[in-house]
Each structure stands twice: as structure tokens, then as C-alpha cells.
Structure 1
Amino acid sequence: MIYPRILQVLFPFSFFIAIITISCNDTGKNKIKTESKTSANNDTQEWVILLTEGYHNLNKNRSTKAADKIFEATELMPKKNWENYLVSATVYAPNGENEKAFTAIEKAIEAGFNDPELLKSLPEFSSLHNNPRWDSLISKTNDRRVASQQSIQNPELLEELKNMWAQDQLALSEYEENIRSLDSTASAEDYRQLFEPVENRWEINKSKLDSIVKIHGWPGYELVGEYGAKIAWAIPQHYPDVFYKEKCLSLLKKAIEKEDADPNHYAELSDRIARETWQKQIYGASMGETAPYPIKNPSEVNKRRLQLGLVEPIEVYAVYHGVDYQTPTEEEAQAIVKESYQKAQADYEKFESFVTLKMADSANVYITKAIEAYGDISNKQLYRASIELSKMKNNRSNRISLKILKVLIWRKWEKRYHILTESGLNTLHDKQEWIEIKELLEMSKS
């Protein structure tokens, strides 16, 4: 990640704990027909090149030249991004470029930045505190916050959402602290028990959000402001049930069509559903450490992003996450798709070989590799794999088998109801997770 401490402050909703070791990508069933406010060729515009170069350079060296490129690019963007201005300012100030730093902060305020406490807390700005202009900037930022709060229809509801999110983060931080106390002999059950308070909090927040939606509708900009809308989106991001995520996604779609929510939130939730159901993502919003998770028709990804109303092409979105990515040409994309499919099928064949040899650990490795192709293994193949894994006297094999069944149900596979009568899965019936399988099947009817 680029300057991770600052990004953690500026983008506090980017942190999610990985609960399950196998996860994947998106169906693309939900497309939003909104008219893009940007031109049709963002990937060739000057601001895209400048912004990408600026962040790449900043990742190597926090120089004012890199900050200049980020600032100039943001000036050219069709929709100004206050985070970019603030990042530039955090480079200018420590390098003695006070005038540029003040200008960048003022631009950030004009673009929507309204958090005076954050401004005061960033150590990069300590050299500005004695300058007469500093107090004026704090005052402007506070005025912006007050104006933003006054425009919100339901401030009390915003405070409730803030409390819900604070409890979510507290539960996660306590879990992180508690697992540090575990030694090498800790079992999966030890970790599961420590995670229960987090799951309980997610359940509470889901119930509260359901009540809010029932009374007020989806919490969008008009009702709870930008921050409240971001919290409303983050709650289903954490909640583990894909059906619930899809429900919230449909509500987000309606809010975006009324320009009452952030298209980025739709893209990120949509692509998160894709990852969790082991399918290729649509908008490229799910980033790995060095590349996006597999994308459906990757040469077309920026067209889909524009159709949704996203300002930044995937190259810029990727660089925000410290990833260097270039959209492939149609010919390159076809080669990528073909290679991915062939590799997934080869890994699946190896899995079947190790199943025949009753080598559970190796079978686990290769079914996991095949799954990581995100969509290149058919539902029928996955179901067959689940049956074979369930027969093995291996805890990890059984966990993967159960996870496959959950994914098939989340995908609403047309043959999913065979799961209950399949004799090959009888060994899973005494597992606690089997109750969840039956519940999910019932939920999938709607």
C-alpha cells in the first residue's frame, strides 16, 4: 500500500478480516443503467496518466514532484477528489512547501473535506500550526462540517449509524488483541470462540440496519450524509451472508439511480459478492496484493465502470490500492481467459487424481487452486468435488466441502436441493455447519 498510515486514516472502511481461507468473484447480474458524467475514454485522458504516475512515484519517494502530479491531475478530474488534494498537502508541508500545502488543503475543503479533527491530527501538518492561515483553514473545515450536518435530514439516525460502526470496529479490535494471546497449540475452535463476539455484533448491526431500512428506506446522502451512507454500505460488507449482501446491493442500486449513494459502494459490494461466490468480478473493485482479482471480460472493465458512473478507470483505482495494473486489449484478454480456464481444469484433474489416491492434503491443495480461478470450474464439478471431499476423514476436506455447498446455494444453482438427499454427503450431517446449509437452502427459495 502507498503510505499505509495516511491511507488508513483517509479510508477507514477499507479494513476487513478474512474469515474463510477460500474466497472469490462476481456474477454481473446487476447492471445499473445510469448515464455516465465522464467522457467515454478516461483511460487516455491526461489526468489519468498524471494521477497514475504521481501515485507510482509517491510509492517510491514522497517527493514534491509526485505530489505536484497528483495535485495537477486532481485539478483536471471531472469530479474533484478531496483525498488526492489532502495527500498532496501531506507531502508539501513536511518538505517546506507551505504555500502549496495550504492551497491543496483549501482545494480539499472546496471538494468536500469537512473533518477539522482529522486535519489537526495529521503530524505532517505540524509545521503549519503556527502559521496565521492555519486557524482560518480549521474554521473553514468546521464551517463545511456544520453545513454538511445541517443538510442531513436525520442527524439522530447518523449518530445511531456511527455508534453501530464504532461497536463493529471495537469488536474487531478486541478479537485481534485476543488472538495475540493464543499460542501455537490453539485450535480452530479456540479461534472460532474468540470470533463469536464479532459475529454477534454483525448480527446486531444487520438487525438494526434492517429496522432503519424498513422505517426510512436505504440510508443515503440526503438522509444521513456521506459518512452515514458509507457506514450503511459497510455493514453488509462485513455481514457473511451473500443473500443479505445481494438484498442491500439492490437497495444501493435504487439509491444510485437517484444520485443518493456512491457508485463505488455498488461496485465494491457487487465485486465482493463475486469473490465470495467464486466468480469473476465486474468492476475490478476487489484488489489483491499485486493485481485485481480475476475480472470478467477484462478488456471491457472500464466501459462497465463508466456505465455505472465511476470517475476513475481501473488503472487509477488500482494505484490507490498500491497495485500496478493496465487494462488488457481484447486479444490479450482472450489469451488471459483461455489460460486461466486451462489452468483451472488442469488443477481440477490433479484434484481428482489425488482423490483417487486418497491423498486428502494434496486434493485440498488442488481443489483450492482450481477454485481460485473464480468461475472456471463449473457448478457440476464443484458439486462432485464436495461429495468426494466429504468422504475423506480430513477436517480441512470437510470444511472445503461445506464451503462449496454454501457457494452453490448462494449462486442459486438449479440442482442445489439435491444436496439434502445426496447420500454421498451423509458424513456431513453431524457437522454443526449442516444446520446452516439447510437454512441457506430454505432462504434461497426467495
Structure 2
Amino acid sequence: MVHSPMQWRHGPVAAALALLLAAPLQVHAANEGSFFDALERYGADDFSGCAHFLDDLLQRGGHFPEGGELLLVECTAAAGDLGKAMDHVTTLLPSGRLSADDLLHKDRPGLNALRNGPAWPDMRKRVLAAEQQRLALLDAPLRRELLERAERDQAAQHAAVDAGGGEAFKATAPVIKANADWLKSVVADKGWPTYALVGHDGAKAAWLLVQHADHDPVFQADMLPLIEKAAKAGEADSADLALLTDRVLLAQGKPQRYGSQFTQADDGAMELRPTEDMEGLDARREAMGLQPLAQYKATLSEMYGKPVR
């Protein structure tokens, strides 16, 4: 099975965001006016179009995938409306879905313009205060351990990718097993690590440890309803739930639901594993905050440097 090539602190959408923010990709449009249409506009430097679609989505109370709110701020500021971008920051900051580190440091045209504006010094103080308040409410030792274990996981994963993937992933087994065994004890003691308990980054790290625990499909299946409950309560990422759902279904000998899992073919290309109802796939993916399949394949090809079918 091919493991996720994305940096662990980002979901699939954020991985596409990272690529698009670095250099435009050839991607395929999703439904008109959707989040992914806005993402494509941003990749084409159409900042006004991106801001228009995302602002409309916000007003309609639509779903923003992980990292989507930051794109709203970035596009609005890059389009030249710094006041409205500031208003978005003010509105979204209490949700915890805007990364303080990204707001303060990420080198992007819109964010750079925002930080150079006259209203930024006061906003910077508010961002820092909100971050301090957020961190004070978390289980800091647990969050720190989750982040450290996720970093070790990703170091092992990227080493395997650099070594050509395939059999090289066997070298990740000791790290993955140690992380899974540790997380089992955490869940037994404290329940699933939610946003409220360990923050967005800590919850993402916990999901990653489960997602990669293919050696223990019973553990993955046991964690799935916990993550589903958290996602329904707004305490976990729906995209994470979708990816783990696919892992569990495949381990049970069933087709995956969201088309997130690929395998490496004999010719070295990546191939989609068996997937139910291909005609309805993109609609299911969008509902969970996942890219359209064609765009996801482009992301995987860019990340792995190999063809994706």
C-alpha cells in the first residue's frame, strides 16, 4: 500500500495548497463555485476569482477543508482587499482553524501584504494572544508527544520514499508499531485526541499514527468510530475520516469509498486500488473535503515523481 506522501501536519487539501502556493500546477476544475474551483483560481494567480468563490462559500456556511480558511485570507489580501482579509482573520481566529504560525510567518503574496499593512501590529497582538489562550487549554504534554511521534513517522516515511518506496517501506515498521502501541494506551486513558484536547495539529498527528498502522487493522477499525464521532462534532477533520475509512475497508477486503489509496504497479506507476461507485466518487470526495480524483492524482504524481493511473 502506498502511504500518504503529504507532510503530516496537512491534509490532502493542504498538500495541494502547499504545491499550488509554491508553483502553479495543471489541475482540473471541480464543480463551478466549489472550494476546489477557488483553489484552481489561486494556482492561476486569479486572486479575485479565488476570493469571490471562497467568500461566497463562507456566506453560505459551506464546508472548508483543512487549510481552506487560510486560503480565503490569502486570496482576499492578494486581491487587494486588506480590510476584508483582516475581517476574515477576526471572524475565523476563534475557531482555531487559522494557523497562527502561517499567519505570522508564511511567505505568500497576500499574507505578506497583510503583514505590511498599517492594521497588522494590532492584529499580530490579537493572533499571539489567541494562540496563547488556545494552547493554555490543551493537554500540552500529550500534544507535544503526538507531534514528536508524528515527526518520527514522517522522517521514516520520507526516507522510504527517497529510497524508492515499495519494499523500502518495511523499514518504517518499528516506528509505526511503537507509535500505535503508545496511542492505544492514550486512547484507553483519555479517549480520542480531539481538537479541544490537543489542538488541530495534535489531532492530525494522532490520526496519522492510526492511518499508518496497517500492521494492526483491528486497531484501525476500532479507532474509526471514535474519529467519526469527533468529526461529526467538529473535533476532527472529515478528510482524515475519509482516508482512514478507505484503509479499514480495504483491510476488510472491501472496495474503498473515497479513492484515497493507491498501490505501486510492476512498471513503477501508482494505481488506484478497488473503489466503489466510481461515478459518484468525486461527489463523495468533495463532501469530505478531498480533491477531485484527477487533481489528487496530479498531486500524488508531483509528490512521488512517477505516473499515477
Q: Shared topology, TM-score over 0.5?
A: yes
| CA shift in 2, pair 1:114/1:10, >3 Å | farther
1:146 has 2:119 as partner: no
Q: How far did 1:116 drift?
A: 2.3
**Matched residue, 1:246:** 221
Q: How far did 1:230 drift?
A: 1.9
The residue identity in structure 1 corresponding to 2:213 is Y
Residue 199 of structure 1 aligns to a residue whose secondary structure is: helix
The residue identity in structure 1 corresponding to 2:211 is Q
CA separation in 2, counterparts of 1:13 and 1:198?
21
Unaligned runs of 5+ residues in structure 1 are 1-7, 16-47, 181-187, 325-371, 373-446
**Matched residue, 1:164:** 149
Deviations 1:145-169 (A, max 9, x none): 22322333x2211111111112112
The residue identity in structure 2 corresponding to 1:83 is G
**Matched residue, 2:291:** 318
Find 1:219's aligned residue among 177, 188, 193.
193
The answer (yes or no) to whether the contact 2:160–2:172 under 8 Å persists in 1 is yes
CA separation in 2, counterparts of 1:295 and 1:151?
41
Find 1:271's aligned residue among 225, 229, 246.
246
Q: How far did 1:235 drift?
A: 0.6
Residue 149 of structure 1 aligns to a residue whose secondary structure is: helix
Say how many residue pairs are matched: 266
| CA shift in 2, pair 1:59/1:130, >3 Å | closer
**Matched residue, 1:136:** 122
Deviations 1:152-200 (A, max 9, x none): 3x221111111111211222334445x38xxxxxxx9xx74x6554222
Give the structure with higher Rg (CA). Answer: 1
**TM-score normalized with structure 1 length:** 0.49
Residue 89 of structure 2 aligns to a residue whose secondary structure is: helix
Find 1:286's aligned residue among 260, 283, 290.
260
1:204 has 2:178 as partner: yes
| CA shift in 2, pair 1:126/1:253, >3 Å | closer
The answer (yes or no) to whether the contact 1:13–1:234 under 8 Å persists in 2 is no
Residue 240 of structure 1 aligns to a residue whose secondary structure is: coil
CA separation in 2, counterparts of 1:93 and 1:301?
33
Deviations 1:372-403 (A, max 9, x none): 9xxxxxxxxxxxxxxxxxxxxxxxxxxxxxxx
CA separation in 1, counterparts of 2:174 and 2:7?
26
CA separation in 1, counterparts of 2:89 and 2:112?
14
**TM-score normalized with structure 2 length:** 0.67
**How many percent identity over aligned positions?**
20
| CA shift in 2, pair 1:276/1:67, >3 Å | farther
Q: How far did 1:91 drift?
A: 3.0
**Matched residue, 1:411:** none
Unaligned runs of 5+ residues in structure 2 are 1-5, 14-30, 263-268, 298-308
The answer (yes or no) to whether the contact 2:211–2:220 under 8 Å persists in 1 is yes
CA separation in 1, counterparts of 2:278 and 2:143?
38
1:233 has 2:213 as partner: no
The answer (yes or no) to whether the contact 2:227–2:236 under 8 Å persists in 1 is yes
The answer (yes or no) to whether the contact 2:93–2:127 under 8 Å persists in 1 is yes
Find 2:74's aligned residue among 81, 85, 90.
90
CA separation in 1, counterparts of 2:103 and 2:157?
26
Find 2:276's aligned residue among 296, 310, 322.
296
Residue 41 of structure 2 aligns to a residue whose secondary structure is: helix
**Matched residue, 1:347:** none
